[in-house]
Structure 1
Amino acid sequence: MLVGVPVGWGFEQAASVPVAFVTAYYALVDVAGVRAGESVLVHAAAGGVGMAAVQLARCWGVEVFATASEAKWGVVRGLGVPAERIASSRDVGFEGCFRAVSGGRGVDVVLGSLAGELVDASLRLVRRGGRFVEMGKADVRDAGEVAEVCGVRYRAFDLGEAGPERLGAVLREVVSLFEAGVLELLPVGVGDVRRVGEVFGVMRRARHVGKLVLSVPSVGGVDGGWTVVSGGSGVLGGVVARHLVVGRGVRRVVLLGRRGEEAPGVGELVEELRGVGAEVRVVACDVADREALAGVLSSLGGGVSGVVHAAGVLDDGVVESLSGDRLAGVLAAKVVGAWNLHELTLGYGVRSFVMFSSAAGVLGAAGQANYAAGNTFLDALAAFRRSRGLPGVSIAWGLWAERSTMTEGL
């Protein structure tokens, strides 16, 4: 029942896959026996199992109908389900809607997870000889009675009934579909295991989309990995390095900067950090240079546990004076550097990924349109990472008290 974690997945992403996708696969294939050309109604299609079922059904050539709360319809449309085949999971209106769209035929299979009159409406939608698979089990019906009254094959199931050999085979097949690019990871909401009650409260109220995952916290530095600081040879990089070592207990720090050890004050900083027990490396590396950055990361035998992207360049001027070159220099440090760090550390399972954005991107700053755009990208990248269950924080700093190379001319 074990399979290797695909390259690029963190633990939280990996945790989001087995239950959701194996349940959906087993329900559709083993229990329902769905075939290409048939139609399936997936209830609660914005939940973990529901989203997995929609993806699997579509990749097998099965026509999908779906219900979800109206606020989540956009999520279901994003899975490729046409708007006319999406309806609310809160009332029986979906019966008339889907009957009309299907030309009165109904559907071949229902994946059920509702109760009461919603189950009755779903049963009426299944064509005679079709299948109703109950996953939620909040309102289990008698299979013999359903067959007699509705002419439908009804079955409620527990995933454990498949046994470890079959579950292992399904899990391997699911992962192979991910590796082939057929399936996509679900949106993941990550909650600290120490606040598990709150996480289950969110699940009980169906406030989430996709899958909820509990994370196990780590104290900075105790896992032995390196924390990489871009812009680490600058003034702010020094402030950050001191905070990581003294305030957060990080024991291994890599300071990346274009000037490396030649940057002013770096020697004193390294001596100070080593004096309190930290292992420090200073490397001359522009994070916008993907090949050079990849080489640095691969040289860190203990792996990477944290990233702080503090690199930045200014080239101020009014909008009309901006050129491609004046944009490129600023965006290379912020955007290209951040994306390189994002992609190249995907396989390391980093516990923290912090980016230094700016108030310029949130509030606007005179003469800094290029800098504002670069920092807004960092804000979006943090949201992008978090939606995939990866750590990501973007801090919109204002002006620092310390005078730096970037601010000394302001």
Structure 2
Amino acid sequence: DVPHLLDALGSGPRPAAVLTAPAPPDPEDGPGGTGPLGAVRDRLGSVTELLRAWLAEERFEDVPLVLVTSGAVATGPHELPAPVDAAVWGLVRSAQREHPGRFVLLDLDDPDTLPEGLAALLADEPELAVREVRFLVPRLTRATGAGELSAPAGTDTWKLVSEGKGSLENLALAPAPEAAAALAPGQVRIAVRAAGLNFHDVVLALGMIEEDQDRFGYEAAGVVVETGPGVSGLAPGDRVLGLVRDGFGPLAVADARLLTRLPADWDFTRGAGVPVAFLTACYGLTDLAGLAPGDTVLIHAAAGGVGMAAVQLARRLGAEVYATASRGKWDTLRAMGLPDDRICDSRTLDFEHRIRAATGGRGVDAVLGSLAGEFVDASLRLLAPGGRFVEMGKTDIRDPERIAARHPGVTYHAYDLNLVDPDRVRQMLADVMAWFADGSCRPLPTTAWDLRQAPAVFRHMSQARHTGKLVLTVPRPLDSDGTVLITGGTGTLGGLVARHLVTAHGIRRL
């Protein structure tokens, strides 16, 4: 608050600017009530008081107050603003219009570090963001689509490919005539609306693993357009989700056993984030680890897609869950109901000592692994007699016989969902959808990007910045036989958009 600021300034040299990071009020105690709306209302109330108090200090009328936030503004397609801090930016922007020069907004990716050269910019820029030691400022420029991939024109048979290993810059959209080939018995062709991105896709694009066929996109949601011989239970027009082949494109082919209907109240983005995460977690924890009520399990990377699904399934099975994640993602695990004493840092090896102490030296009955190197060794040491290590990672696969020799009584399983019997996948998919229906499991939070932004999204996943699932939506041309709704359609911009839709896209129903 301002009194504390003034006390801190004292009678020392006059500052060029004053930085403050207002602490958000506790939503449990604030007058706005609990929940997101209450948190926003209370935060804006406290910031409003701060702004008014600063404006009342005439002796600092030429000293800007810099309000510091973290994650309040998106500087690129891979960022989503934090709702509470984003609301603060909206409020302060209004104050800036009424009182030019009195306030500055500064958004940091590392809230504990102030970048060099900041002071020189505060006098000229009302808004600043810092990302990876770079200053970013808002500017209006002509959109160029820089960094976006271009789909082949005049066809809907294309897919995402890598034109060379080792760099995500080699990703491209290339013709895929095989997407329209005749269907084999038991196959289904779907028009993909959204497809889930997985770590397997990223390491494959980077050349970190080798496969006979470099295929991206193993899960998708869309609409059935054709069924092959012998398929029953699915028909053109059905909305479905499941495991597919080459899902990063307008058309994909799937074994009918690996698809199920999309719930009526789900959109395609939500559906695309379900199959791989929940099926991988289900097979690893039930078929391989044999998790039972009362067992203890360590789930690594628990804030990722498979990790969040595994936490839900393990708790549904009656197991006691310990989890690792980077510290910035611990709130995600807390929101899932995990107490702090069962959450560990995935960036250090301290989890071994913390969990051993928490379990009275016994360790855990099962580990769902996705890390590598020393983290695997530490996890193996944590297993109690009869323990099961289930490895879903791709970059550090161990020899089960050597594991058994070094850790007597411990079993090691490395697995790939693509190698699981389709009939077993069909049963698991039915079970998972039943768990959603009865409320014992919930779909994962998803963040969606246009498929043409694939290089940026792959890079975002490779840096492990996300929680939940990343989903790529497939661009579709406007349907001239469809209907377009324009909000604000009688205004100047609305009229221009309407004319463009008619003349450039042949739309007839507006």
**TM-score, normalisation: structure 2:** 0.47
Paired residues of 1:191 and 1:199 also in contact (CA < 8 A): yes
Encode CA deviations 1:117-158: one digit per residue, 9 max, x unaligned.
Answer: 111110111101110001103222221222222121111111
2:401 alignment partner, one of 135, 144, 159: 144
1:89 CA drift (Å): 0.8
Aligned to 2:424: 166
- Is the 8 Å Cα contact of residues 224 and 251 (structure 1) preserved in structure 2? no
Q: Does the 8 Å CA contact 1:140/1:156 hold for their aligned counterparts? A: yes
Equivalent position of 1:13 in the other structure: 270
Structure 1 residue 41 corresponds to structure 2 residue 298: yes
Task: Look up the match of 2:359.
Answer: 102
Q: Encode CA deviations 1:238-275: one digit per residue, 9 max, x unaligned.
A: 556524422345999xxxxxxxxxxxxxxxxxxxxxxx
> Relative to 1, partners in 2 of residues 1:161 and 1:181: Cα closer, same or farther, differing over 3 Å?
same
In 1, are the aligned partners of 2:369 and 2:376 still within 8 Å (CA)?
yes
- Call closer, same or farther: CA 1:90–1:239 in 2, change over 3 Å: same
Match of 1:288 in 2: none
SS of the equivalent of 1:141 reads coil
Q: Deviations over 1:349-380 (max 9, x none)?
A: xxxxxxxxxxxxxxxxxxxxxxxxxxxxxxxx
Alignment of 1:61-76 (within 5 A): 61-76=318-333
Q: Aligned-pair distance for 1:277?
A: 6.3
The answer to whether the aligner puts 1:177 opposite 2:435 as a matched pair is yes
Take 2:298 and 2:265, find their aligned partners in 1: how far apart are those partners?
Answer: 33
Contact 1:245 1:278 survives alignment (8 Å): no
Q: What is the CA RMSD across the aligned residues, in angstroms?
A: 2.2
Q: Is 2:389 the partner of 1:132?
A: yes
Secondary structure of 2:259's counterpart equals coil
Aligned match of 2:453: 195
Separation of aligned partners in 1, 2:277 and 2:264: 20
Are the equivalent residues in 2 in contact too, given 1:45–1:54 (CA < 8 A)?
yes
- Residue 247, structure 1, aligned to residue 505, structure 2: no
Deviation at 1:184, TM superposition (A): 1.3
Q: Deviations over 1:25-54 (max 9, x none)?
A: 010011111111111100000110001100
Runs of 4+ aligned structure 1 residues displaced above 3 Å come to 223-230, 236-241, 247-252
Deviation at 1:278, TM superposition (A): 3.1
Tell me the CA shift for residue 80 of structure 1.
1.3
Structure 1 pair 10–251 and aligned structure 2 pair: CA distance change class (3 A): farther
User: What's the CA shift for 1:68?
Assistant: 0.5
Instruction: Give runs of aligned pairs for residues 375-390 of structure 1, distance below 5 A.
Output: none
Between 140-149 and 38-47, report the one with greater CA deviation.
Answer: 140-149
1:45 to 1:249, Cα distance in 2 relative to 1, 3 A: farther
Partners of 1:50 and 1:223 lie apart in 2 by 42
CA distance in 2, matches of 1:183, 1:116: 32
Which one-letter code corresponds to 1:278 in the other structure? R
Deviates more, 1:62-71 or 1:144-153: 144-153
Q: What's the CA shift string for 1:63-94, capped at 9, x where partnerless?
A: 11000011001111111111110011111100
Task: Name the CA shift for 1:82/1:240 in 2 (closer, same or farther; >3 Å).
Answer: same
Tell me the residue number matched to 1:218. Answer: 476
Q: Which residue of 1 aligns with 2:288?
A: 31
Q: 1:165 to 1:242 in 2, by over 3 A?
A: same
Compute the displacement of 1:237 (Å): 4.6
| SS state at 1:37 partner | coil
Q: Does 1:156 align with 2:414?
A: yes
Check conservation: 2:480, 2:507, Cα contact below 8 A: no
Matched, 1:83 2:340: yes
- Alpha-carbon contact 2:367-2:383 (below 8 Å) kept: yes
User: What's the CA shift for 1:172?
Assistant: 1.3
Give the whole-Å Cα distance in 1 for the aligned partners of 2:356 and 2:490.
62
**Alpha carbons of structure 1 residues 248 and 205: separation in structure 2 relative to 1, 3 Å:** farther
Answer whether contact 1:2 1:168 (CA < 8 A) is retained: yes
Do the aligned partners of residues 58 and 240 (structure 1) sit closer, same or farther apart at CA in structure 2, a change above 3 Å counting? farther
Identity of aligned residues (%): 48
Q: 1:111 aligns with which of 343, 368, 391?
A: 368
In the alignment, structure 1 segments of 5+ residues that lack a partner are: 253-275, 281-410
Of residues 52, 55, 58, the one that matches 2:315 is 58
| Alignment coverage as a number of residue pairs | 252
Instruction: Report the secondary structure of 1:226's partner residue.
Output: coil
Give the secondary-structure state (helix, strand or coil) at the position aligned to 1:3. Answer: strand
Confirm or deny: 8 A CA contact 2:291 2:366 kept in the other structure: yes
| Partner Cα separation in structure 2 for residue 46 and residue 131 of structure 1 | 22
Q: Judge conservation of contact 1:244–1:250 (CA < 8 Å) in 2.
A: no
- The code of the aligned residue for 1:176 comes to A
User: In structure 2, do the counterparts of structure 1 residues 193 and 100 end up closer, same or farther at CA, with 3 Å as the change threshold?
Assistant: same
* In structure 1, C-alpha distance between the alignment counterparts of 2:378 and 2:339, rounded to whole Å: 21
Paired amino acid for 2:509: E
Cα deviation, residue 110, structure 1: 0.1
In structure 2, list runs of 5 or more residues that go unmatched: 1-257
Cα distance in structure 1, aligned partners of 2:454 and 2:507: 35
Give the Å deviation of 1:225.
3.9
The letter for the 1-side match of 2:304 is G
C-alpha separation in 1, matches of 2:360 and 2:390: 23
Q: Which protein has greater RCO, CA pairs closer than 8 Å, 6+ apart?
A: 1
CA contact 1:222–1:250 (8 Å) conserved in 2: no
Indicate conservation of the 8 Å contact 1:42/1:112, yes or no: yes
Match of 2:76 in 1: none
Q: 1:105 & 1:223 partners in 2: Cα distance? A: 65
Question: CA contact under 8 A between 2:291 and 2:317: conserved in structure 1?
Answer: no
Query: Deviation at 1:61?
Result: 1.2
Q: Is the 8 A contact 1:107 1:130 kept in 2?
A: yes
Summarize the Cα distance change of 1:195–1:229 in structure 2 as closer, same or farther, 3 Å threshold.
closer
Could you tell me which residue of structure 1 aligns to residue 508 of structure 2? 278
Task: Measure the CA separation in 2 of the matches of 1:277 and 1:114.
Answer: 51
User: How far, CA to CA, are the matches of 2:496 and 2:305 in structure 1?
Assistant: 39
SS in 2 for 1:84: helix
Output the TM-score relative to the length of structure 1: 0.58
Change (3 A) 1:182 1:248: farther
